[in-house]
Chains A and B, each alone.
Chain A
């Protein structure tokens, strides 16, 4: 019988909410959340492969590109990384691991985020190149490929190698959840100080047979007493279920506060020394802008211009130029100049690259604001579109229990969604200004405003770019090379 450690009075603990807390502490809670998501995923795959080819009529495209993305960022904003908790890929992986046990450890040289950062950028690129938003078939193929990738990686490699080192959606969630208000952490450090078993990371085994694990510990190598923040935490609840002292909770905190400090983090190390996580923060931030840029009218004029200059007739090289500029050139120039000013004008003792790396985490909130504005817009304006698509899908299999499709059901009018978009952008800007000021205070005690100024300018440039994008007419097509100039 567990005895619950008390929670500090100042903190809210989701596990103490009547009903919900008990549900989450139930050892099958994760499966309970994963099962419906898996069923929906299977329906999306089937409908994507065999259903209507028009994206607005198909569950694969509608649920993936309108509802999943929007709900994901809104839940990250309001709570935390609960989408990784409900990840259906892990349910399938767990089933597969009943049959095949992985034998290998993930290669030491690959224990970083570089693969996942590259995959994250690649998905953004292929999204534009193949117009995934317009293709139910390719959306379904992407989901199937994801399932297969999970099975292959975690079929060969132990622990949660896919989540920690490969999954691009997971990395998106990890970096975005650094600004979430909830975090899985220990309630009382003093309880951990006298804990002899360390079940939260080791897991629990049967007394009679030590090779039989009855409850997993953290598969992502996050040791609760030294865990800081949400980076790499999938909210899988394993540590909560494993702790014999009931000393792990889902606690409230100041959003983005983990970006302001640089302690040694269990399973991660120091943010300031992790170039791969810094790169993830930058792809997350600048990728938000390039992803939004792909859906407004000026992108087609730019693509046509680049196509003419390069004398090419395929989209790939043109997109490569655009992505290269926005994901490499622009961050290097903006952060390089800001770091140089911080060093020369504010007198920071750090070199240019470590400076840029340290402050790159300060851009995460504005990046998240852009993702929120973009995905939130689609989510709100297309909120009810899953209803007629589901009605239609059921009617298609001669089971019209929801009635005839009501295609006039959509969502909020665009003019109502736009103020919400602006609110998200302002929230992101405020968060980034706050974080970068804290970083500047820690960096240059005597003249924090001097260190802060160039980074505030970077934040404002990103904010202004996002507002400009938001005010552009939205336009979606996949035929820029044939548009006749």
Chain B
């Protein structure tokens, strides 16, 4: 019989315990459903290229009424980890219609995260993609 003497058994048990804790906590969090908000977006120019990209947002509720008075922060991420994200804030031009601008620093596929805080104080997270951004 070969005997290992490095305490690997204890490590294995410990790791399984950590995994169980993480699994349990990971599965149990963020289960609440937010308010039903529909977000439509439009980017300019088309096709999108690096540099400033205009983003028009149209927020409506479940009854298709415009959602007014929301505070919207935008975050643009590349699909590859390790790239600098870009941030912006949207301003409301008309009820439910917001406009923002993101400075896209690289060509490729971007994912835009919307961190929306409604006038009621509720928070909503939405995301959409801007694919095929080209070099300017």
Residues of A with Cβ closer than 8 Å to B?
A: 27-28, 30-31, 34-35, 38-39, 42-43, 45-47, 50-51, 54-58, 61-62, 65-66, 91-92, 94-95, 97-98, 101, 131, 133-134, 211-215, 295, 297, 378-379, 381-382, 385, 389, 396-399, 407-408, 410-411, 473-479, 482-484
Q: Is B78 an interface residue (CB 8 A)?
A: yes
A92 close to B80 (CB less than 8 A) = no
B81 close to A66 (CB less than 8 A) = yes
B79 close to A378 (CB less than 8 A) = no
Please judge, given known A-B contacts A39-B15, A94-B4, A297-B107, whether A47 and B26 are in contact too, CB under 8 Å. Answer: yes
B19 close to A42 (CB less than 8 A) = yes
Q: Is B135 an interface residue (CB 8 A)?
A: yes
- Besides the contacts A133-B81, A381-B83, A475-B107, what 6 more A-B pairs have beta carbons closer than 8 Å? A28-B6, A43-B18, A65-B82, A94-B8, A396-B29, A476-B80
A396 close to B26 (CB less than 8 A) = yes
Q: List 23 A-B contacts (CB under 8 A).
A: A28-B7, A31-B6, A35-B11, A38-B11, A46-B26, A50-B23, A50-B27, A54-B77, A54-B127, A56-B80, A91-B11, A92-B12, A134-B79, A211-B1, A297-B134, A379-B82, A382-B83, A385-B82, A396-B29, A398-B29, A410-B85, A474-B108, A479-B132
Please judge, given known A-B contacts A35-B11, A211-B1, whether A133 and B80 are in contact too, CB under 8 Å. Answer: yes
Residues of chain A within 8 A of B26, CB atoms compared: 46-47, 50-51, 396-397
Q: Is B33 an interface residue (CB 8 A)?
A: no
Residues of chain B within 8 A of A54, CB atoms compared: 77, 79, 111, 113, 127
Residues of chain A within 8 A of B7, CB atoms compared: 28, 31
Please judge, given known A-B contacts A28-B7, A397-B25, A479-B131, whether A58 and B2 are in contact too, CB under 8 Å. Answer: no
B77 close to A381 (CB less than 8 A) = no
B residues 87-111 touching A (CB-CB < 8 Å): 87, 106-109, 111
A477 close to B131 (CB less than 8 A) = yes
B18 close to A42 (CB less than 8 A) = yes
Top 4 closest A-B pairs, CB basis? A382-B82, A66-B82, A397-B25, A477-B109
CB distance from A420 to the nearest CB of B (A): 15
Q: Is B84 an interface residue (CB 8 A)?
A: yes
Residues of chain B within 8 A of A483, CB atoms compared: 131-132
Output the residue of A61, A97, A475, A478 with the most chain B CB within 10 A: A475
Interface 1/0s, chain B 54-94, versus A by CB < 8 A? 00000000000000000000010111111111010000000
Output the residue of B29, B79, B82, B131 with the most chain A CB within 10 A: B82
Interface 1/0s, chain B 107-120, versus A by CB < 8 A? 11101010000000
Please judge, given known A-B contacts A31-B7, A38-B15, A42-B22, whether A65 and B81 are in contact too, CB under 8 Å. Answer: yes
Residues of chain A within 8 A of B12, CB atoms compared: 91-92, 95
CB contact between A398 and one of B14, B25, B132, B134 (< 8 Å): that residue: B25
Please judge, given known A-B contacts A94-B6, A94-B8, A95-B12, whether A212 and B81 are in contact too, CB under 8 Å. Answer: no
> In the assembly, what is the distance between CA of A269 and CA of B27, in Å?
52
Main secondary structure, interface of B, reads mixed
CB distance from B16 to the nearest CB of A (A): 8
CB contact between B8 and one of A31, A57, A66 (< 8 Å): that residue: A31
> In the assembly, what is the distance between CA of A167 and CA of B79, in Å?
28
Q: Give the total of B residues in contact with A, Cβ under 8 Å.
A: 45
B79 close to A55 (CB less than 8 A) = yes
B1 close to A101 (CB less than 8 A) = yes
> In the assembly, what is the distance between CA of A213 and CA of B81, in Å?
45
CB contact between A477 and one of B14, B108, B127 (< 8 Å): that residue: B108
A46 close to B19 (CB less than 8 A) = yes
Please judge, given known A-B contacts A396-B30, A483-B132, whether A65 and B19 are in contact too, CB under 8 Å. Answer: no
A477 close to B79 (CB less than 8 A) = yes
> In the assembly, what is the distance between CA of A376 and CA of B65, in Å?
50
CB distance from B12 to the nearest CB of A (A): 4
B residues 18-55 touching A (CB-CB < 8 Å): 18-19, 22-23, 25-27, 29-30, 47
Residues of chain A within 8 A of B14, CB atoms compared: 39
A56 close to B81 (CB less than 8 A) = yes
> In the assembly, what is the distance between CA of A43 and CA of B14, in Å?
13
Residues of chain A within 8 A of B131, CB atoms compared: 477, 479, 482-483
A475 close to B79 (CB less than 8 A) = no
CB distance from A34 to the nearest CB of B (A): 8
CB contact between A476 and one of B4, B19, B78, B135 (< 8 Å): that residue: B78
> In the assembly, what is the distance between CA of A399 and CA of B23, in Å?
14
Residues of chain B within 8 A of A410, CB atoms compared: 82-85
B5 close to A214 (CB less than 8 A) = yes
Residues of chain A within 8 A of B6, CB atoms compared: 27-28, 30-31, 91, 94
> In the assembly, what is the distance between CA of A104 and CA of B25, in Å?
41
> In the assembly, what is the distance between CA of A291 and CA of B108, in Å?
17
Output the residue of A27, A42, A61, A385 with the most chain B CB within 10 A: A42
- Nearest A residue to B16 by beta-carbon distance? A42
Residues of chain B within 8 A of A34, CB atoms compared: 11
- Nearest A residue to B27 by beta-carbon distance? A50
CB distance from B15 to the nearest CB of A (A): 5
Please judge, given known A-B contacts A57-B77, A95-B12, A476-B80, whether A213 and B3 are in contact too, CB under 8 Å. Answer: yes
- Nearest A residue to B50 by beta-carbon distance? A473
> In the assembly, what is the distance between CA of A475 and CA of B12, in Å?
40
Residues of chain B within 8 A of A58, CB atoms compared: 81
A476 close to B108 (CB less than 8 A) = yes
CB distance from A435 to the nearest CB of B (A): 32
